[in-house]
Chain A
Amino acid sequence: MDITSASIDFGIIWPEVTLLVAAAVILVLPFFRITTRFSPAIAFIGLVVAALLAANQWDSPNSGFYGMVTCDNFGVAFKLIFVLTSGLALLMAHRYLAARGINRPEFYALLLISSTGMMVMANTTDLVVIFLGLEVMSVPLYVMAGLARRSLESNEAGIKYFIMGAFASSFLLMGIALVFGAAATTDLRRIVADFSFIMSSSQPYLVAGVGLLVVGFGFKIAAVPFHTWVPDVYQGAPTPVTALFSVGPKAAGFAAILRVFTYGFVDLEVLTTLFWILAVLTMTTGNVLALRQDNVKRLLAYSSIAHAGYILVAMVAGGPAGTSAAIFYLVAYAMFNLGGFAVVTLLETRSGCQSDFSELAGLGKAHPYLSTVLALFMFALAGFPPTVGFFGKFYVFSAAVKSGFIWLTVIGVLNSFLSVYYYLRVVKTTFLDRAETTFVPVRYSPAIIVVLIITAAGTLGIGFFPQHLLEFSQSAIFAFL
């Protein structure tokens, strides 16, 4: 804590405050006997206002709360990613939750509180505040995973996510304690300034602490070998919540990782090797295990592990090119992955649908437009041009080549080829396989159509004009910290 430099400045946390106020309003409405029908609308308005306030903070780096909260373009870019993710998940959720009889106002409040935690996590250089944000993000997510109280699958997903999440948090906290012991501060800026002195005076504590931090964050972004919880949790949780899991916490984890490891401990050379190994393991394991999945939700779970591996490649590349490639990839991934989950959500609003592969058969004939959109998302996930998935992979791998990681790039490209098989399997089942029973048609809701249009337009639009997102991701690291 740097008591002398700055004061408390509420201006830099207006987006977070907005979300919390909206969450509080949603939670107190039932007490005043006001109908809870408006809670999704209130949540949506809160997210839109938060997005506008966050966009207003662009290009005005600032810091407050005695240096414990920072507000730079990097943090603002992530705030916008979180708002986008939560907004799309919210639009997906409404009809789905109603169809399952779990459309309760608490869901929307939890969603907003969780987004607040993500924002806190991305907008600080202090390890303790990162931990605080992580917990504010995670605790509502545990509840959301187990939201369907009567569903055994949802119960199981919730408890598994809770145990693994709390386990990971304690690793992270122990790591922070050891780094604090070595450096006498938890502020990354001061750690960077005194790094050589800290290394010479208390190396064992620092190295052990950083190691535990890697484990803790590894669980959060689901890097292999800390990924075992992912398939079960993604399959068991309600699908819109899974959509949120696959992007929101992952992006928040990467925001913190980029701050901590590519800025804070950048001089610790062993980290590059460590993340090199993690990236290779994560990409390969995710893709290989995805090959033999028969459930679309589980397939997307393994595919999200593989995509975390690609972002780790950008992180290993490091420097401005690597960091901006990581942000570009996260935005692109948010688009096509949320789109894919939106299609699954729509299919699952029919009763009894578990999203097994066999249930996709016949979709192409019954809903040609929806199937085409699904195919678009699968092509983007596989990284075909002209979708944004291609440019995301292109920037990640070119950053890796520029930094001299040739073998890592080769392994990454081979992994992309491998992934084509299982993504195209989804497309093949949709269009070519014959349905065993008559295909029960899905019923569109206006909200899900909006989600599909936004994600499809993002996937194709950014694919045709990648320079706008590229400029965005490059200026996001301008005035980093």
Chain B
Amino acid sequence: MVNLSAYILVAVVLFGIGTVGVMISRNVIILFMSVELMLNAANLALIAFSRALNVHDGHVFVFLVLTIAAAEAAVGLAMVITLYRNRETVNIDRFDMLKR
């Protein structure tokens, strides 16, 4: 039996990797994957807490989060496709039409 803090440590590390990914990545698809990683880090934390505290709410919340992540993915990928059709690039640095 691995104790709770180990799970939370993994979740926090995953969340950190996701955050760094969003900040340094230039490719929209990778940005998107990093955000998904952050959401799943939160899922891991919810499950771990739920088991440790013996409160089952967390398990249910994970299903909600999965659904929301799927909805976000559908919208996000559709937008990336539209963008690629118009610009033929997914590099975030090239999206500088709007004034800084």
Q: A180-B57, A181-B53 are in contact. Are A160 and B79 (CB under 8 A)?
A: no
Q: Assess whether B83 is interfacial by the CB under 8 Å rule.
A: yes
- Indicate which residue in A128, A155, A295 contacts B86 across the interface (CB closer than 8 Å): A155
**A128-B61, A174-B42, A298-B99 in contact; A163/B28 too (CB < 8 A)?**
yes
* Residue on B nearest A156 in the bound complex, by CB: B95
The smallest C-beta distance from A344 to any residue of chain B, in angstroms, reads 16
**Given contact pairs A155-B82, A158-B79, A173 touches B39 in the complex (Cβ within 8 A):** yes
Q: A128-B64, A142-B79 are in contact. Are A1 and B57 (CB under 8 A)?
A: yes
Say yes or no: B45 contacts A156, CB within 8 Å: no
For this complex, into which size category does the number of interface residues on chain B fall?
A: 35 or more
* Candidates A1, A158, A163, A177; contact of B49 at CB < 8 Å: A177
Could you say which of A132, A167, A181, A231 contacts B22, with CB atoms under 8 Å apart? A167
Instruction: Give chain A residues whose Cβ lies under 8 Å from the Cβ of B55.
Output: 184-185
| Given A177-B46, A236-B97, A236-B98, A150 contacting B86 (CB threshold 8 A) | yes
Q: Is the pair B98, A235 in contact by a Cβ cutoff of 8 Å?
A: yes
Complex alpha-carbon distance, A146 and B48, angstroms: 38
For residue A186, CB closer than 8 A to chain B, the reply is: yes
Q: Which residue from chain B places its CB closest to the CB of A142 in the assembled complex? A: B75
**A interface secondary structure, majority:** helix
Q: Which residues on B sit within 8 Å (CB–CB) of A173?
A: 38-39, 42, 65
Q: Which of A135, A150, A152, A177 contacts B45 (CB 8 A)?
A: A177
How far in angstroms is the closest Cβ of chain A from B22?
5
Interface contact B99-A166, CB-CB below 8 Å? no
Tell me whether A152 and B76 are in contact (CB under 8 A): no
The CA-CA distance from A135 to B39 in the complex, in Å, is 13
Assembly CA distance A176 to B57 (angstroms): 12
In the complex, which residues of chain A have a beta carbon less than 8 angstroms from the beta carbon of B50?
180
Interface: A433 (CB within 8 A): no
Number of residues on chain A facing chain B (CB within 8 A): 42
Closest 7 CB pairs of A and B: A170-B38, A181-B49, A177-B45, A173-B42, A232-B98, A174-B42, A166-B35
Binding site for A on B (CB under 8 A): 8, 11, 15, 18, 22, 28, 31-32, 35, 38-39, 41-43, 45-46, 48-50, 52-53, 55, 57-58, 61, 64-65, 68, 71-72, 75-76, 79-80, 82-83, 86-87, 92, 95, 97-99
Given A159-B80, A185-B55, 5 more A-B residue pairs with CB atoms under 8 Å apart are A157-B98, A158-B82, A176-B42, A180-B61, A295-B99
